[in-house]
Amino acid sequence: MHPIRLISFGYLHLPTGPDGSPVPPAADRIEDVRDRLRDPASARDILDLNGLNPLVQNVVLATPGARELLANLADLPAGPRRIAIGCAGGKHRASALTELLARALRDRGRQADVEHLHVHLPHILKAADTSTGASA
Edge-to-edge strand list for the sheet holding 82-87? 29-32, 82-87, 4-10, 112-116
pLDDT score recorded for residue 125: 64
In which element (H, E) is residue 113 found? strand 112-116
Share of the chain above pLDDT 70, in %: 88
CB contact at 8 A, 76 and 61? no
Torsion of CA 85, 120, 102, 62, to 10 degrees: -70
| pLDDT (tens digit per residue) in 81-100 | 999 999 999 999 999 999 99
102 by DSSP, 3-state: which?
helix
User: Rounded distance, CA 92 to CA 53, Å?
Assistant: 9
Is it the case that residue 130 has pLDDT exceeding 50?
no
Q: pLDDT > 90: what percent of the chain?
A: 74
Distance, in Å, from the CA atom of 15 to the CA atom of 31, rounded to the nearest integer, reads 18
Dump the DSSP string for 42-59.
GSGGGTT--TTSHHHHHH
| Contact call for residues 117 and 61 (beta carbons, < 8 A) | no
